[in-house]
Chains A and B, each alone.
Chain A
Amino acid sequence: MSIREYWTHPWGRRVLLVLVVLALLAPVFGAASERVGYTEPLEVAAEETGASGSADPVTSTPLAEYSVPGLPAPLGTLASALLGSAIVLVSMLALSRLLARGQ
C-alpha cells in the first residue's frame, strides 16, 4: 500500500481523525489538570531534595510550555498539539521511508 493509498483508506482517515480529536482534547485536559494543581513526582522529588531552583534551560524556544506567544493558553495548547503531532508524523514518515529504502 502506498502512502497516498493509506491516507485515502478509511482506516488511515480514521487514525488522522483520532489525532485531531486528541489535539482538541489537549486544552481541556490542560485546564482540568490546572484546577487540581498539576504536579508530577519529578517535581515532588525536586522540592523534597531542594533541587527545584536548579532547573536551568540552556536553550529557549518561543513555544515553551506548549504555548504560542499572543494566543490565549487553550489556543496555544491546541496549536502546539497540532504542530507537534504534524512534525512528529512527517519526520517519522521520512525516517521510515529512508530506513526502508536503505535495506
Chain B
Amino acid sequence: MHIPDGYVDLPIAAVFAIIAGVTLAIAARRSGDRLEGSQAPLVGVTAAGIFAAQMLNWPLPIPGGTSAHFVGGAFAGIVLGPHLGVLAMSAVVVVQALLFGDGGLTVLGANVFNMAIVEVYVGYAIFRIGRRWNDVGAAFVAGWVAAGAGAIGVAVQLGVSSAFNYELLTVLVIMGGGHAVLGVVEGVITAIVYQAVIRSRPDILPSATREVAV
C-alpha cells in the first residue's frame, strides 16, 4: 500500500502533505491529554511492533494479490487511542520511506494520510462503536474495514493522477476489491493481538481509563 514517487501528481501529493501535516499537529496536541511519561514505552513498543509486523509478508494464494502484510492502523488506534495511534503509525511510515525507500518522499504525506490517518481514525471509530456488542469482533471488523478504507484512499489518489491515466474506477475496483479480501488477514491479526493484550494488560488500553475525544 506504499505509494512510490512518480505515481501521484505533485499537486495532489502537495494537498495530502498539507492535510497530513495539519492532522499530525492536531494529533500531537490532543495526544497530550492522555499521555503520561510512563506511557512512553507502550507507544514505542506498539509502533516498533507494527513496523516489525509489517515486514511479515503473508503468502496468500489470491488472484491479483498473492501476498499481504499487516498494516496495523486500527490496532494502533485501539491500543493507543486515535491521536497517539496516528503519531505511532506516522513514525512507522516515515522510517519506512526515509530509511528503506518503501514509499516515496514526494508522496510521504499521501502515505501518512492513507496508512496513519485514515486507517487509525476509521479503525478506532469502528472499534469504539462495535465494542459494546463484542470487543474482539469489533477489533476484527475495525482491522478489516480500516485496511479497505486506507486502500480506497490510495485508489483515489492514484486514480486521479496522470500516471494511472485517470482510470479511477479501474484502480478503485482493484484496490478496493483486493484489500476487501486481504483485509480479512488484517482483521484476524488485529483481533488476535487485541485479545492477547486484553488478557495480559487490560489496564493499558484507552478504554480502561476514559474515552478519547476525536
Q: Which residues of A contact B (CB under 8 A)?
A: 1-3, 6-7, 11-12, 14-16, 18-19, 22-23, 25-26, 29-30, 32-33, 35-42, 44-46, 48-51, 54-61, 63-66, 77, 80-81, 83-93, 95-97, 99-103
Contact of A85 among B48, B65, B87, B175 (CB under 8 A): B48
Do residues B7 and A26 form an inter-chain contact, with CB atoms below 8 A?
Answer: no
Distance of A92 from chain B, by nearest CB (Å): 4
Contacts of B155 in A (CB 8 A): 45
Contact of A6 among B32, B38, B53 (CB under 8 A): B38
CA distance A1 to B154 in the complex (A): 40
Q: Is B138 an interface position by the 8 A CB rule?
A: no
Do residues B5 and A97 form an inter-chain contact, with CB atoms below 8 A?
Answer: no
Do residues A26 and B52 form an inter-chain contact, with CB atoms below 8 A?
Answer: yes
Do residues B49 and A15 form an inter-chain contact, with CB atoms below 8 A?
Answer: yes
Distance of B58 from chain A, by nearest CB (Å): 7
Q: Is B31 an interface position by the 8 A CB rule?
A: yes
In this complex, the member of B40, B68, B104, B200 whose beta carbon has the largest number of chain A beta carbons within 10 angstroms is: B40
Do residues A77 and B59 form an inter-chain contact, with CB atoms below 8 A?
Answer: no
CA distance A48 to B3 in the complex (A): 16
